Structure 1
Amino acid sequence: MLCVGTSAEQLAAVAEATAGGVAVVYLPDDAALRAVIEGVGSVAVSAHRVIEVGKLRLDADLREATWHGEVMTLSSRDFDLLYALAGDPGRVWAFSELTTHVWGRPYVGDTQAVVSAVKRLRRSLRCAAPGVQVESVRSVGYRVTVAEVPIPSH
């Protein structure tokens, strides 16, 4: 069985309902979903996946993160986690949603992988992007906020 979803909520719901037993195709928006439905057989979705929040820019296709135009060195997991959180800044992402969306596996109640990854991401952001904060929402999950922090002149 193949399921197609356009949101992390849909992805998490399918993964939870099927205990991870189906393939899920994640499409970035409804336009991409329409392209798939209307172009059955040959699908070419060319949306360039870039998120910009203030001076934070994440390019999923290039796997590049920049803060005030400066490239940030992030691990693959850090990038994926930040990309998910920054995709909807201010929104609280539940542990289950992050597990499904970032790790691509069903959530079984263990929050440790998410907690550890957030700690590593926060360490990476402290120096590279001081205006980007990953905030905890107790017993729920995390959200990202981006403040305009002036960069020091060299």
Structure 2
Amino acid sequence: MHTQESPLRHQDAYAVVVADTVDDIEQLNELLHSNLPVLLVRDLDQARRLMDGEPSGASAADTPRPDPLRVGRLEIRPQEQRALWCGAPLELTAQEIGLLRCLARHGGSVASFQELVQDVWGASCGVDTTVIHSAVRRLRRKLERAGVDVGIESVRGYGLRIAHEGRQPSAN
């Protein structure tokens, strides 16, 4: 009888996990039932850089940090995975910051669902619009609780746009 070694038990195997918290990693590790080494990354861009063999220290030091994105008094710092409201940090996940980043880059214009999936989830397909709407619903609640006067408007069947409540959004 020939037994094939499970890929999860291979000595060179490891898991790359995109997660917001250590709790997420621990839950995933329990699901895997393994002692695989786990490499935690904060977003898909970082995972891609690591998989391409790009040294993280060199790229961060050699690349100038882009200016923060601003919508009213909301400041989004993508490189730091942070968002600030009136200078105070907001408790947002990397995915929520990714949504804000993508919408802020469009500056009041509509970001299509396809653009959001590519930019935030790093995929060209496979993410249903219900996943996007669910993530946006959680983000809206957090922004509202923090008193942020920036809204996320749905454009039925097409996408989303960010709107500063003190100004009218651009017409599309």
TM-score (ref. length: structure 2): 0.57
Aligned to 1:6: none
1:140 maps onto 2:158 in alignment? yes
Aligned to 1:100: 118
- The one of 57, 60, 85 equivalent to 1:67 is 85
Residue 146 of structure 1 and its aligned partner are, at CA, apart by 1.5
Partners of 1:86 and 1:144 within 8 A in 2 = yes
In structure 1, C-alpha distance between the alignment counterparts of 2:166 and 2:72, rounded to whole Å: 7
Residues 109 and 56 (structure 1), Cα distance of their counterparts in 2 relative to 1, 3 Å cut? closer
Partners of 1:135 and 1:142 within 8 A in 2 = yes
Partners of 1:56 and 1:66 within 8 A in 2 = yes
In structure 2, C-alpha distance between the alignment counterparts of 1:123 and 1:53, rounded to whole Å: 18
Aligned to 1:122: 140
**Pairwise mapping of residues 3-18 of structure 1 onto structure 2 (< 5 A)?**
none
Q: 1:29-86: per-residue Cα shift (whole Å, max 9, x none)?
A: xxxxxxxxxxxxxxx4313341122211111122221111221111111111111111
Tell me the amino acid that sits aligned with residue 139 of structure 1.
G
Partner secondary structure for residue 92 of structure 2? coil
Bigger CA radius of gyration: 2
Runs of 4+ in structure 1 off by over 3 angstroms are: none
By percentage of residues, which structure has more helix?
Answer: 2
Gapped runs of 5+ residues in structure 2? Answer: 1-44, 46-61, 168-172
TM-score (ref. length: structure 1): 0.63
Q: 1:75-123: per-residue Cα shift (whole Å, max 9, x none)?
A: 1111111111112221101111100110001125721211111111111
- The one of 81, 84, 88 equivalent to 2:99 is 81
- Which of the pair has the greater relative contact order for Cα pairs under 8 Å at 6+ separation? 1
Q: How many residues align?
A: 108
Sequence identity percentage? 35
